[in-house]
Amino acid sequence: MTAHDAPIARGAEDPSLGYLRIATEEAFCPPELARMWRELIAAGGDLDPGFESLVGFYLRSTAERPRYVAERLGDLGALRLADMDATGIDRQVISLTSPGTQIFSDAATAAAVATLANDQLAEACRAHPDRYSGLAAIAPQDPGGAAEEIRRAREELGLCGVILNSHTNGEYFSDEKFWPILEAAEALDMPIYLHPNTPPRAMIGPLLEAGLDGAIYGFGVETGMHLLRIITSGAFDRFERLKLVVGHLGEALPYWLYRLDYMHRATVRAGRYACMKPLERQVSDYLKENVWYTTSGMAWEPVIQFCRQVLGADRVLYAMDYPYECVPAEVRAQDAMALGPAELKAFFQTNAEEVFGLERD
Ligand code: MN
């Protein structure tokens, strides 16, 4: 082990650090779900092309990286804790990996997976209350049932938010049929983490053809669009206190703030689309007032600083994206940013505590 790979002390072990590191986009996958996905892939037929590309690769490949990831996704115990210890992570906010329940066409199957995942995750959080917090999986295929699962997750399981792995069989939360889920999340003060999925069939063609459908680019395009669809649908005018969390420093939307405001205004004024209605606030206002941003592997200070500048220092927080990323150098790079002690504590610790209500229970 070189000095560069040496374990990084956690904040709880080294109070001189001045903060705990809370990683907020950390994935797991129950072995039962991995088995169901494997059966879907084996059955073949008219599979979602993004699912086939991504999950098919992770389940079939014998290369080192997919094996490393698959082994860790299934672990909520010693292996995960050892990785957290080695990379200086005090707490993980854990969620069901993409696409979670959202690949299933049958709502009852999807709901059963959500229940199973939430029960397993809650048990792990109870076993390691100082190291783990969890987000609730839902089955958007049954919006009423998903709303009830959010209530159960909050009130009975003590989970601290909701994971939404972007589109559900090509459908988006801009569709009002999903709004009972937004209503429940707002009422229970459960932030929804809008996490990437591979682009749906109607979108993936040119990305897949070039090998760009995954984390390199396609995830961000699809998920950024989903967030924008939610905003322009008026969902935040209906649910003013709804909180969304988005990874990868906003899936490129922060860079577009000026143009989004200008073009949304111009498009509404021109009456070009029946679906594009006037909003109570500017597009950028929702992005500054209803959305939080995590780094999840975007360990690049210029963009982190840009997001802090245009969105607010209280809205940008740390995520590792474990086990897809588990890179000590990225932790060190973010420790070393040109920020004061209070700003670093907000970035690594208190912004996460506030948005996920980690201190409330
Ligand atoms: Mn992720």
- Lateral strand order in the sheet of 316-317: 136-137, 162-164, 192-194, 244-246, 291-294, 316-317
Q: Are 248 and 224 in contact (CB under 8 A)?
A: no
Which residues on neighbouring strands pair with residue 244, listed in sequence order?
Answer: 192, 291
Say what the pLDDT of residue 211 is: 96
Q: Are 339 and 10 in contact (CB under 8 A)?
A: no
Say what the pLDDT of residue 71 is: 94
Largest CA distance in the chain: 62
- Distance from C-alpha of 78 to C-alpha of 90, rounded to nearest angstrom: 14
Prior bond of 99 cis (ω within 30°): yes
Secondary structure in 3-state letters for the chain: CCHHHCCCCCCCCCHHHCCCCEEEEEEECCHHHHHHHHHHHHHCCCCCHHHHHHHHHHHHCCCHHHHHHHHHHCCCCHHHHHHHHHHCCCEEEEEECCCHHHHCCCHHHHHHHHHHHHHHHHHHHHHCCCCEEECEECCCCCHHHHHHHHHHHHHHHCCCCEEECCCECCECCCCHHHHHHHHHHHHCCCCEEECCCCCCHHHHHHHHHCCCCCCCCHHHHHHHHHHHHHHHCCHHHHCCCCCEEECHHHHCHHHHHHHHHHHHHHHHHHCCCCCCCCCCCCHHHHHHHCEEEECCCCCCHHHHHHHHHHHCCCCEECCCCCCCCCCHHHHHHHHCCCCCHHHHHHHHHHHHHHHCCCCCC
CA of 249 to the centre of ligand 1 (A): 12
Tokens of 141: 């295929």
CA of 243 to the centre of ligand 1 (A): 18
Q: Residues 169-223: pLDDT tens digits? A: 999 999 999 999 999 999 999 999 999 999 999 999 999 999 999 999 999 999 9
CA of 268 to the centre of ligand 1 (A): 34
Angle at 305 between CA 302 and CA 310, to 5 degrees: 120
pLDDT string in tens for the chain (361-residue length): 455 567 899 999 999 999 999 999 999 999 999 999 999 999 988 899 999 999 988 888 889 999 999 999 999 999 999 999 999 999 999 999 999 999 999 999 999 999 999 999 999 999 999 999 999 999 999 999 999 999 999 999 999 999 999 999 999 999 999 999 999 999 999 999 999 999 999 999 999 999 999 999 999 999 999 999 999 999 999 999 999 999 999 999 999 999 999 999 999 999 999 999 999 999 999 999 999 999 999 999 999 999 999 999 999 999 999 999 999 999 999 999 999 999 999 999 999 999 999 986 5
Q: Are 19 and 345 in contact (CB under 8 A)?
A: yes
CA of 27 to the centre of ligand 1 (A): 7
Instruction: Please state whether the predicted TM-score (pTM) of the whole model is above 0.75.
Output: yes
CA of 296 to the centre of ligand 1 (A): 7
Q: Which of 131, 168, 126 is nearest to 146 (CA)?
A: 168
- Distance from C-alpha of 327 to C-alpha of 303, rounded to nearest angstrom: 18
CA of 3 to the centre of ligand 1 (A): 28
> What is the identity of the amino acid at 235?
A
CA of 270 to the centre of ligand 1 (A): 38
CA of 195 to the centre of ligand 1 (A): 6
CA of 25 to the centre of ligand 1 (A): 6
- Distance from C-alpha of 100 to C-alpha of 122, rounded to nearest angstrom: 16
Domain 90-360 annotated CATH 1.10.3080.10:
no
- Distance from C-alpha of 343 to C-alpha of 361, rounded to nearest angstrom: 25
Please give the backbone phi and psi of residue 276, each rounded to the nearest 5 degrees, phi first. -100, 100
CA of 147 to the centre of ligand 1 (A): 23
Q: Are 138 and 165 in contact (CB under 8 A)?
A: no
CA of 226 to the centre of ligand 1 (A): 16
CA of 97 to the centre of ligand 1 (A): 7
Q: Are 101 and 170 in contact (CB under 8 A)?
A: no
CA of 192 to the centre of ligand 1 (A): 14
CA of 194 to the centre of ligand 1 (A): 10
CA of 215 to the centre of ligand 1 (A): 9
Helix orientation angle between 328-335 and 78-87, rounded to the nearest 10 degrees: 40
CA of 321 to the centre of ligand 1 (A): 5
CA of 272 to the centre of ligand 1 (A): 36
